[in-house]
Structure 1
Amino acid sequence: MPGQVPEVVKIFRITHYKNLKFILENGLHCPTSKTKDAAFVNIGKKDIIQKRESKEIEVAPYGRIHDYVSFYFGPRSPMLYSIHNGNSDTDCSQADIIYLVSTIPEIIAANLQFVFTTGQAIMELSTQHNDTRHLSKLNWEIIFGKYWFDRPPEYIDRMRQRMAEFLVYKHVPITTILGIGVMNESMKDKIERLISNEGKKLEVRVKSDWYY
């Protein structure tokens, strides 16, 4: 596939900032986990969530998508674009969304099981892999590119490929999260206060170029 696999592959989890307190205390849990946030703010679309509930993972450790914590390989996802344009099923703005950032080496060092896909995980064209040697099958030019809209006839599959996913089985400890990206200084201050109140240490950076 076009583009070079980064020397250190970063992974990006987006979530509503109101979910962070629970995450700091419990880590990231998959949707089927018994450990649940009673105040969880969902940012996904209901129809997509329903498809993810039943979509099977066909490589070890198997299961379904909802048995995994999902990350993207880059910022500025189509999902965030939908939130920005009010096309999601949640009443929030993109400024309410924060990025939790880790790396594949960090996940491996924590002995966590994972699967990754070459595009949006629910799509039949997206293949599933559990060996990092297959990261070259992702389209890194599209993942990091400015443009990802499908524009026939030349670009009819960019959106799916942009949404390639890194799926961590069951649970991601907060110790594997290396930092948090936010849209503006106001959110940075809010998140830093929350982290301090929870007795944690995480770097928070304003990354306005990760937003629309």
Structure 2
Amino acid sequence: MVVPANPKIYHIVHVDRLPSIIAGGALWCDGRVIRQGAEGTTIGMSDIKRRRLEELTLENSHPELFVGECVPFYFCPRSVMLFLIHMRNHELAYKGGQGPIVHLEADLYEAVEWAEEHDKRWAFTLSNAGSYYFEDRCSLDDLEEINWDAVRALDWRGGLKEGKQAEFLVENHFPWRLVRRIGVHSERVYRQVLNLLPDDGHRPTVEIKNDWYY
């Protein structure tokens, strides 16, 4: 598969989690959030979060590192997970829909450079890192193994679902200052995010991105 010239990565959070991210200067892995607590709404499936923390490791790349001890990103907006949130899937405790969810966009190569400079392990998976059968890699030379057609697909039926859920994972935390853009669903959330950003700190570009949502 042809790797994009400048691949981006996307982390999704409820907008009310932004104040704690900004105050702490970082996005934190689920392991730390659960141990220490964090203000704001938790999204995602609790049983899969537990599995990522207690059972699943990056077997090929860092076999002693649990998936849940990493900050996860997708390689695209409008993820399969966001669809489940939009549909208010019965397995989700969160039932608020996609409206309050924001996309935090960063640059993949910049993320890898930061991780290596700060001795943070990183990897990417070829499918959902919450499943029992994903494959992981930790070399940028292997990016072509990602199904980029699936990642880019807006309609991921017909066998594209697994490839679309490929993840980038970085150990422990990811710096807020590397978030380059925030994509939101509506004017209301756009204004909410602008009001949350510090006047004298890092202020990513904020855009209403309807095509990043269902």
TM score, norm. by length of structure 2:
0.89
Out of 50-59 and 197-206, give the one that drifted further: 197-206
SS of 2:131 mapped into structure 1? coil
Measured after TM superposition, the shift of residue 171 of structure 1 is 0.9
Alignment pair present for 1:42 and 2:46: no
The equivalent residue for 2:31 is 32
**CA deviation map 1:133-174 (0-9, x unaligned):** 11100100010012112xxxxx3x421111100001111011
The equivalent residue for 1:10 is 8
Runs of 5+ unmatched residues, structure 1: 150-154
5 Å-filtered alignment, 1:146-157, equals 146-149=154-157, 155=158, 157=159
Runs of 5+ unmatched residues, structure 2: none
Cα distance in 2 for partners of 1:40, 1:198 equals: 23
SS of 1:102 mapped into structure 2? strand
The equivalent residue for 2:147 is 139
Cα distance in 2 for partners of 1:195, 1:178 equals: 13
Cα distance in 1 for partners of 2:6, 2:152 equals: 14
Measured after TM superposition, the shift of residue 38 of structure 1 is 3.4
Cα distance in 1 for partners of 2:153, 2:81 equals: 16
Give the fraction of aligned pairs with identical amino acids, expressed as a percent: 29
Cα distance in 2 for partners of 1:124, 1:31 equals: 18
Distance 1:133 1:116, change over 3 A: same
Q: How many residues align?
A: 204
Q: RMSD of aligned C-alpha atoms?
A: 1.8
SS of 2:30 mapped into structure 1? coil
The equivalent residue for 1:99 is 103
Measured after TM superposition, the shift of residue 37 of structure 1 is 4.1
Cα distance in 1 for partners of 2:200, 2:70 equals: 25
CA contact (8 A) 1:21 1:198 kept: no
CA contact (8 A) 2:44 2:94 kept: yes
TM score, norm. by length of structure 1:
0.89
Cα distance in 2 for partners of 1:51, 1:143 equals: 24
Cα distance in 1 for partners of 2:121, 2:65 equals: 12
CA contact (8 A) 1:19 1:40 kept: yes
Cα distance in 2 for partners of 1:76, 1:103 equals: 17
The equivalent residue for 2:128 is 120
The equivalent residue for 1:152 is none
Out of 140-149 and 34-43, give the one that drifted further: 34-43
Structure with the largest fraction of strand: 2
CA contact (8 A) 2:52 2:66 kept: yes
Shift >6 Å, 4+ stretches: none
**CA deviation map 1:29-80 (0-9, x unaligned):** 1122277443231110122222212211121374101110000000111111
- Residue type matched to 2:40 in 1? F
SS of 1:95 mapped into structure 2? coil
Measured after TM superposition, the shift of residue 122 of structure 1 is 2.8
SS of 2:207 mapped into structure 1? strand
CA contact (8 A) 1:22 1:37 kept: no
Cα distance in 2 for partners of 1:91, 1:36 equals: 24
5 Å-filtered alignment, 1:1-212, equals 3-26=1-24, 27-33=26-32, 36-53=36-53, 54-58=55-59, 59-60=61-62, 62-87=64-89, 88-110=92-114, 111=117, 112-149=120-157, 155=158, 157-196=159-198, 199-212=201-214
